[in-house]
Amino acid sequence: MDRKRSDVWNHYSVIDSGMAKCSYCSNSVSYKGGSTSNLSKHLKRKHIIQNESRKHPRINEMIEQNVDEPSKQNTPETNNDQNQPSTSINAINVINKSRPIQKSVYSYFMNDKPLSVSKQNKIDEQLAVMISKEFQPFSLVESVEFKKFIYLLNPGYLVPSRKTLSKSILPQLYEKTKEKVRNNLLNAKYISFTTDGWTSINNDSFIAVTVHFIDPEECVLKTFLLGCFNVVESHTALNLSLFLNNCFKDWNITEKVKVAVSDNAANITSAIGMNQNWHHIPCLAHTLDLIAQSGLGEIKNVHKKVKSIVEYFKRSTKANLRLKNAQKQMGYPELKLIQDVCTRWNSTYDMFQRCIDNKEPLMYTIAKIGNMDNLVHEDFELIKHYCAIFKPFKEVTIELSSEKGISISKVLILIKALHSHIKNKEKEPNLPNAIHLMLSKMVIKANAKFENIENQSILTEATILDPRFKKEAFNNPYTYQKTYEKIVKKVSKIIRLNQSPAENEENEKTIPTYRENETSEIWQQFDSQVSTSISVNTPTSEAIVELDRYLNEPILDRKSDPLKWWNDRKKIYPNLFDFMLLRLCVPSTSVPSERTFSKADDTISERRNRFSTNNLEMLIFLNSNY
């Protein structure tokens, strides 16, 4: 095939010798005789894309923009002294003119010969990846200094215009990445999802949906963002339910979605409840936040005092400088004070902990300034007690918020540990009255939230199916036995679904009894004994045998990867492996969706607030999935 040099081939793929396929609308366009005029007309008419010239600006124009041209070397032809004879030099020049002049290395790299179409496309794609993943504005490609930088790296590369980037290159990369996600979702057998809402600085409403599954071939937990969608309709339960169902239908995964994880907002919980095939799990991070916030009011005076002190140091550069000098003089690390956010208990913990870490320099600086209330010994005692109580809460939140590893099977163990922690703290002697009241409220809230946690079958079944925990995570034998029976029932159902109709019919048959006229008197006694001991191999008995063999295996080390363990034994426990794919793919929090909004905040900012909602959706999708 002839080498394609025209820019128009950035938007087409060749079907045969006379037809090309448009990358945007998939229409076939003729280019018989090698002419690309039809292709260019189609782009201008249908897609408003102008064919860019491949010709690069001249080097002299770049020089005028302060790009240095290679310094000219003095050659033997140059005679700086006009009065001196140059007979011998002219003779040398005649010889040199007959020889080819060797090019310098600089001239090799400064070759402005246009790149091939494939090379141009590859660099264009990487440019789009950089803009989406590094939160750069589209206007970057119009920056004079950026163009100079690219020219010095490769003069043959033509930086695309802003319009080409947003209307052509980015949509192509978006479609390519969507296809990659679709191919991964084809391997999923069971899928769980998280969802949450967000409002941008432009007051546009978005809903994020992430999916999580274990690839049965690789036995690896995978996470993808299906999209951060602009939803203009009111966020009622009905509208949210329709939106989620349409989203999964577009991705062709409706039958695979089994579990949903979200916060406790009434509209989203009702929306999930409208689909009978989905099981809902409330976000554990939000539940922990509610428990933590329940007791904060008992120390509101010291909380308010610390918050006002931190605000003062955040506003006053002079006060902040004094604090830094005090830290240096006392040999403390230069740590900035942290301001808390009212909706996040862990930010309050971080604020208090930073005050403890800077206790001496902070008290000294406040005393020197003298125009605010200083923290006294009793205040620091309350702060220390608060941090001692909430340090395990922060550790558990971080543990459960991971989306790269299995977290759902840890919930029972970690929640019980936290519950026991606050109960033991409440029993400690000589507690300040405010701390005792705070713990009492937290215990009441925890009892209400976690009272029926062992009745959530997804949590208990996931715990047993994790080879690191199994039955060791259960304190109540009745709960374990109940979960054991549920797993047997569900695994036997999987066995029935995997069996052929002939095998199911065979299992339904009973063992034939021996008649006296069909056997000799010698074997009658033996046959009657055997007939009472032989049992039919049913799906239920097969499930029990497989589950018991699994439970009798040694417990896996807690720091080991449970999915690697299952991958090594998926042929030994094929039916349990199938059920494991359904349970261990579930995240324990909706944090993956919230992380999407953190990226969205970086994508659309004060500097980049003119994105259309369509471009914003593409950029967030690429940032998460490319």
Question: What's the token pair of residue 608?
Answer: 């980049």
Question: What's the token pair of residue 189?
Answer: 């057998």
Give the mean model confidence (pLDDT) for residues 330-346. Answer: 85
For 60-79, what is each residue's pLDDT tens digit? 444 444 544 443 334 333 34
Q: How many other C-beta atoms are found inside a 10 Å radius of the C-beta of residue 468?
A: 20
The phi and psi torsions of 341 (rounded to 5 degrees) equal -115, 130
pLDDT, residue 112, reads 64
Residue 224, strand partner residues: 211
For 498-524, what is each residue's pLDDT tens digit? 876 655 555 555 444 444 445 566 666
* Averaged confidence pLDDT in the chain: 83
The residue type of 526 is F
Distance of CA 244 to the CA centre of its chain: 19
Query: How far apart (Å, rounded) are the C-alpha atoms in residues 593 and 596?
Result: 5
Contact 205, 230 (CB under 8 A): yes
CA dihedral 503, 507, 510, 515 (to 10 degrees): 40
Q: Report the percentage of the chain scoring pLDDT > 70.
A: 81
Contact 323, 361 (CB under 8 A): yes
Q: How far is CA 376 from CA 125, 257, 373, 422, in A?
A: 59, 55, 9, 26
What lies within 8 Å, CB to CB, of 109 at 6+ separation is none
pLDDT, residue 17, reads 76
Question: What's the token pair of residue 557?
Answer: 């080390």
Residue 222, strand partner residues: 213
Rounded to a whole number, what is the distance in angstroms from the first to the last CA of the chain? 31
- Measured at the CA of 109, the angle between CA 103 and CA 114, to 5 degrees, comes to 110
Question: What's the token pair of residue 68?
Answer: 């240095």
Contact 400, 285 (CB under 8 A): yes
Question: What's the token pair of residue 379?
Answer: 């205040």
Within 82-169, residue ranges assigned H as helices are 87-97, 105-109, 117-133, 144-153, 162-164
536 closest CA partner among 499, 509, 503: 509
pLDDT, residue 356, reads 93
pLDDT, residue 544, reads 94
For 183-230, what is each residue's pLDDT tens digit? 999 999 999 999 998 888 788 889 999 999 999 999 999 999 999 999
Query: How far apart (Å, rounded) are the C-alpha atoms in residues 159 and 577?
Result: 51
For 391-431, what is each residue's pLDDT tens digit? 999 999 888 888 888 999 999 999 989 989 999 998 888 89
The string of DSSP letters for 184-233 reads HHHT-SSEEEEEEEEE-TT--EEEEEEEEEEETTTTEEEEEEEEEEE--S
Question: What's the token pair of residue 471?
Answer: 């039955």
Relative to beta strand 257-262, strand 191-199 is parallel
pLDDT, residue 96, reads 45
pLDDT, residue 607, reads 61
What lies within 8 Å, CB to CB, of 513 at 6+ separation is 531
Contact 577, 568 (CB under 8 A): no
For 517-546, what is each residue's pLDDT tens digit? 455 666 666 666 655 444 557 899 999 999
> Which strand ranges, in their side-by-side order, compose the sheet holding 257-262?
220-230, 205-215, 191-199, 257-262, 279-282
Query: How far apart (Å, rounded) are the C-alpha atoms in residues 367 and 387?
Result: 24
Grade residue 386 by pLDDT with cuts at 50, 70 and 90: very high
The residue type of 216 is P
